[in-house]
Structure formats: structure tokens, C-alpha cells
Amino acid sequence: GSHMPTRKKFVAGNWKMNTTLAEAKALGAAVAKGVTDDRVTVAVFPPYPWLTAVGEVLKGSPVALGAQDVSSEKKGAFTGEVSPAMLLETGCKYALIGHSERRHIIGESETFINHKVHTALEEGLSVVLCMGETLAERERGLQERVFQRQVYAACAGLTDEQFGRIVIAYEPVWAIGTGKVATPEQAQEAHAFVRSKLRLLYGDKIADSTPIVYGGSVTPDNTVGLMSQPDVDGALVGGASLKADSFLAIVKAAG
């Protein structure tokens, strides 16, 4: 159909388990200084211990704060967990959920990820939901089956209002930290398929308004090609987000 998408580009920097406190504050400050308008939604995801400090540095700037994970529980006897309410108090607007490193290295299940998505949204956070196939799955031609399972599982039971606070990040696992990047065509194909599943499950409004961003070895050089695709609505940036100039170049290329 002639769906007119009105999706704003979204670019997020996932710092992973990197930075000292001093580096985190300096990086946050440099990103805040470099993002002067809100043409592109920009967010940074520092490690848990630096959230409050980076939040202070971002105050008054258009750059949003996000956490790299969140508990599936609201409060209580869950040693080592961090609740959505705690994240909101540090100034977080977003939480990353289901990043492939947590799925494949930490062993998080689809059910657990769905539980986290519900808890985060109920408590008032917005969610960047990660999905993507492994190299073995792609080589066997199973990627569409994987996307379908991941969309169904992670989004089960969400209301329309909750869907308004979800960004989907497609990250082919074989492209994360490997320097291998999906071609713009591969990314477009994956994003279009995920959007078609959203359309089937949740209708046009949600399918057309949910941003689907690409992650996996994003650099200033490959951003323009990726962003020119009709269903690629931004980027989840790993390594290149640890240097303000390369991250800001990606933000600029997305806008």
C-alpha cells in the first residue's frame, strides 16, 4: 500500500563494558556539545555505574540517556539487578533489551526478554529491543524464521500505547564487532521483513511508526548507504560510539 512513514531517525551509542568514569563524562559532554538540534533522536548507553554522572553531563541537551540492560522485576530480593525505577531516577529514558551479547553470551531466553520488555514499559521506560540472526542461521537461510520468532516472542502481549515506546534494533550477530557489515540491501531486506510482520500482527499504524534501526559494525563510512534504505530508520552504534567525532559523524549522516 501507499504507507507514508513519518519515522524520525534514531541513532544510539552502545558503549558496552568500556570507559572509565572520566572517559564516560568526557564522551557524554562531547556528544551533547555536538548534537545541537533534534532532527535525529540521539541516545547514549553508558555502563550502569556511570549513568548518573553521564546524565548530569547531558542535562539540557537533546541527547537522551539509556541503560544497556534492565531487570525483569520491579523491586525486591534480586541481588545485583537494577530496576526500571532506578534507571528512571538516574535520568534514563531508554533501556536496551535482548542485545545479542546478552542472548548468546549471558544466555537470556525469549521469555525472559519479553518479561523485561513488559516490566520496562509498565514502569515508564522506552525500550530499544534487539534482534538478529547468527551466521549459522543466515547460512542455512533461516533468518526470516528467526526474525519472526523474535518479534512474536519479544512483543507478545503489548498494548498499542506501549508499542509507541519501542524501537527495534536489527543486529545480525555475525556483524557485531566483526567489522563485517550487512550490505544496505541485506539490511533493507531484514528491516522490510520485520516491518511486514509488525503489519500482520499489529496493523499499519504500528508498522509504519515503529523505528527499525540497524546495528553491527556501523561506521561513518557505511551510514549513508544504510540510511538511504526506506526501512532503515537509524543505527545502534558499538565501537564507533566510543569516539565522539565518529559517533557525531554517524548522527550527521543519518540526518
One-letter amino acid at 62 equals P
Q: Binding site annotation covers 15?
A: yes
Annotated binding residue 196: no
Quick one: cell of 73?
522485576
For residues 210 and 253, give the distance between their C-alpha atoms in angstroms, rounded to a whole number. Answer: 21
Bridge-based pairing of strands 212-215 and 166-170 is: parallel
How far from chain centre, in Å, is Cα 25?
Answer: 21
- Check whether 238 is labelled as a binding-site residue: yes
18 labelled ligand-binding = no
177 marked as binding residue: yes
239 annotated to bind ligand: yes
Q: Which residues contact 63 (CB under 8 A, 6 or more apart)?
A: 28, 31, 32, 35, 42, 43, 44
Q: Mind telling me the catalytic residues?
A: 99, 171
Q: Is 16 annotated as a binding residue?
A: yes
Cα(247)–Cα(237) distance, rounded to whole angstroms? 8
Cell output for 74: 520491579
Task: Classify each residue of 122-132 as buried b or exposed e, where b means 16 or more C-beta atoms within 10 Å of its C-beta.
Answer: ebebbbbbbbb
**Side chain identity at residue 224, one-letter code:** V
Find all residues with CB under 8 Å of 60, minimum gap 6, and list them: none
Number of other residues whose CB lies within 10 A of the CB of residue 4: 6
User: If 0-12 CB within 10 Å is exposed, 13-18 middle and 19+ buried, where does residue 148 land?
Assistant: middle
Known binding-site positions: 14-16, 177, 217, 238-239
Known binding-site positions for substrate: 14-16, 177, 217, 238-239
